[in-house]
């Protein structure tokens, strides 16, 4: 029925058997400026599109303490080597929770790699100090005079040689299967452009030199003298790297925080040596003008989804992209701040392992965990402004939720009719009931909703249906 006082004709009103309107739940992060406080977004959620083209919104994976027993101190990296989990907390390297020696603790998160040979070794470095580790020799500082005295983060092992790069973009190679002795002749410079080195990585059978505003690619050319590397000139990209701590290799695809000489910060990926942006315009608006002094990044593969997660600590901001669905969302800790995870790997059972920034803990991550080690995760769905396709006033006698049923699962619902400026009070919906919904949601011309879930239960929502009735303009 129209609202009281309506002068609309019967022909203008919807038919009694008109199906309800479905409120859009899933949209690209849509901030109109550099604030995360307006417009459509998902917080601590991600999206899955089924083979039947149904769209579901899930709460992000939760965390569970793995109880490996490190002391509470700063997390500086975690890595799986030969089935064992190596982690650095404070200035101590641990193997499966057992101390293996002391490392430098002045330059953030370490990067790891490994080498082959008669004695396979683990390599670890933070741009200030670099180390080899094997069970026989233990943890040994690399002190060879041909190893760079300072270097950028990242290693690249290619054809029995390990490579590192310094801030002048000089790429230095080790001896064959020998990361103790470094070859003084095995060096070249990434010099297509005169920018400095920022990070080193590997993709396919190529060494990737990320610089200030460009990225260069090298392959094993088999040169008899000097460096065996040769340039893949056609693979040069006019995008560099803002922070080495943003670089992640996810199943052979490189993802990092990038910038060109004249461009705003963006997130890009390199797949088969092709660099393409994966950040949207709203995400780049969030990144513009930020302080990138402290950056964390990590990746997580869970429930058939692959996530790249980027934290800019000074901005108190964590952004996650689901590389499966190519959708961004904001993730937070239980207090609404950035997610304090600095590194990720997996254990011998292939379970994801995440390293905390400060408390000395390694966590399992899984969709089976509805909390962060017992602390409630607040999942928020902020919808776009919705007008039902008309500027006419609409009366909403009923709103229904299509979601999974779990005992104790409650959804709090509020709305804004003035473009996200003010919100009404939350109303509560019991998602454990067969047909959860709300009655008498009032009138509006244009409205956005916030659906909030903060319970020790999973959350999976497919749709919200609005039983709209038209009123007057």
Q: What is the mean pLDDT of each run of 10 residues along the chain (473 residues)?
A: 39 53 81 85 94 92 90 95 97 96 98 96 98 98 96 97 98 97 96 97 97 98 94 94 98 96 92 96 94 98 96 98 95 97 96 97 97 98 91 92 96 97 97 95 95 98 92 58
Same domain flag for 349 and 215: yes
The C-alpha atoms of residue 438 and residue 435 are separated, in whole angstroms, by 10
Residue 34 has what pLDDT? 83
The C-alpha atoms of residue 411 and residue 408 are separated, in whole angstroms, by 10
Whether 152 maps to a domain, the answer reads yes
This prediction has a pTM of: 0.93
Residue 472 has what pLDDT? 54
- For Cα atoms 203, 206, 210, give the angle at the middle one, nearest 5 degrees: 75
Same domain flag for 226 and 279: yes
Same domain flag for 315 and 407: no
Helix (H, G, I), strand (E, B) or coil at 414: strand
The C-alpha atoms of residue 53 and residue 390 are separated, in whole angstroms, by 27
The C-alpha atoms of residue 222 and residue 219 are separated, in whole angstroms, by 9
Residue with the two structure tokens 């590192």: 164
Closest Cα partner for 274 from 232, 322, 314, 316?
A: 232
Q: Which residues pair with 423 in a beta bridge?
A: none
Token pair for 429: 């919906």
Rg (CA), the chain: 26
**Domain carrying residue 122:** 62-375
Residue where a domain terminates, one of 328, 354, 375: 375
Same domain flag for 304 and 428: no
The C-alpha atoms of residue 463 and residue 452 are separated, in whole angstroms, by 14
Residue where a domain terminates, one of 375, 404, 423: 375
Same domain flag for 242 and 354: yes
Same domain flag for 414 and 278: no
Whether 56 maps to a domain, the answer reads no
The C-alpha atoms of residue 235 and residue 226 are separated, in whole angstroms, by 22
Residue 17 has what pLDDT? 52
Whether 159 maps to a domain, the answer reads yes
Same domain flag for 431 and 337: no
Q: What is the CATH number of the domain that holds 361?
A: 2.130.10.10
Torsion of CA 93, 96, 97, 99, to 10 degrees: -40
Whether 14 maps to a domain, the answer reads no
Residue where a domain terminates, one of 320, 353, 375: 375
Same domain flag for 387 and 371: no
Token pair for 275: 């660099």
Whether 39 maps to a domain, the answer reads no
Helix (H, G, I), strand (E, B) or coil at 225: coil
Token pair for 452: 């909030």
Whether 367 maps to a domain, the answer reads yes
Same domain flag for 180 and 236: yes
Residue 239 has what pLDDT? 96
pLDDT in tens, 270-291: 999 999 999 999 999 999 999 9
Token pair for 186: 């095995």
Same domain flag for 281 and 301: yes
Same domain flag for 239 and 111: yes
The C-alpha atoms of residue 440 and residue 449 are separated, in whole angstroms, by 15
Same domain flag for 352 and 218: yes
Closest Cα partner for 70 from 60, 62, 78?
A: 78
Whether 94 maps to a domain, the answer reads yes
Whether 12 maps to a domain, the answer reads no
- For Cα atoms 379, 385, 388, give the angle at the middle one, nearest 5 degrees: 120
Overall domain count for the chain: 2
Residue 10 has what pLDDT? 36
pLDDT in tens, 154-201: 999 999 999 999 999 999 999 999 999 999 999 999 999 999 999 999
């Amino acid at each position: 029925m129209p609202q009281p006082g309506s002068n609309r004709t019967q022909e203008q009103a919807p038919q009694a058997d008109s199906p309800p309107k479905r409120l859009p739940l899933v949209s690209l992060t849509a901030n109109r400026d550099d604030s995360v406080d307006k417009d459509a977004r998902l917080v601590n959620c991600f999206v899955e599109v089924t083979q039947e083209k149904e769209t579901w919104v899930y709460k992000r994976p939760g965390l569970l303490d793995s109880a490996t027993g490190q002391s509470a101190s700063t997390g500086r990296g975690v890595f799986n080597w030969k089935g064992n989990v190596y982690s650095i907390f404070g200035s101590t390297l641990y193997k499966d929770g057992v101390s293996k020696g002391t490392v430098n603790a002045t330059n953030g998160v370490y990067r790891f790699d490994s080498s082959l040979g008669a004695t396979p070794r683990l390599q670890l470095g933070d741009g200030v100090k670099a180390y080899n580790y094997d069970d026989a020799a233990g943890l040994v500082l690399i002190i060879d005079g041909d190893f760079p005295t300072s270097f950028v983060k990242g290693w690249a092992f290619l054809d029995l040689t390990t490579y590192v790069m310094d801030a002048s973009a000089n790429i230095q190679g080790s001896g064959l299967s020998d990361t103790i002795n470094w070859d003084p002749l095995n060096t070249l410079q990434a010099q297509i452009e005169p920018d400095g080195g920022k990070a080193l990585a590997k993709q396919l059978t190529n060494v990737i030199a990320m610089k200030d505003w460009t990225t260069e690619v090298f392959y094993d050319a088999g040169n008899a003298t000097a460096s065996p590397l040769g340039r893949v000139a056609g693979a040069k990209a006019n995008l560099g790297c803002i922070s080495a701590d943003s670089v992640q290799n996810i199943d052979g695809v490189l993802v990092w925080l990038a910038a060109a000489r004249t461009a705003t910060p963006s997130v890009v990926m390199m797949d088969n040596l092709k660099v393409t942006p994966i950040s949207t315009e709203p995400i780049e608006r969030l990144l513009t003008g930020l302080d990138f002094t402290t950056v964390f990044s990590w990746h997580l593969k869970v429930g058939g989804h692959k996530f790249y997660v980027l934290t800019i600590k000074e901005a108190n901001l964590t952004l996650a992209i689901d590389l499966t669905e190519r959708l961004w969302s904001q993730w937070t800790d239980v207090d609404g701040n950035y997610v304090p995870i600095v590194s990720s790997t997996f254990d011998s059972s292939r379970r994801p392992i995440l390293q905390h920034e400060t408390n000395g803990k390694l966590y399992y991550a899984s969709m089976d965990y509805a909390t962060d080690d017992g602390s409630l995760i607040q999942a928020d769905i902020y919808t776009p402004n919705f007008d039902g396709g008309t500027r006419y006033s609409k009366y909403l006698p009923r709103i229904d939720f299509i979601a999974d049923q779990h005992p104790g699962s409650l959804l709090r619902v509020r709305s804004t009719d003035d473009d996200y400026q003010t919100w009404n009070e939350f109303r509560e919906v019991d998602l454990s009931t067969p047909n959860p919904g709300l009655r008498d949601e009032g009138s509006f011309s244009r409205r956005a909703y916030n659906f909030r879930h903060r319970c020790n239960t999973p959350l999976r929502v497919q749709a919200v249906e609005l039983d709209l009735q038209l009123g007057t303009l």
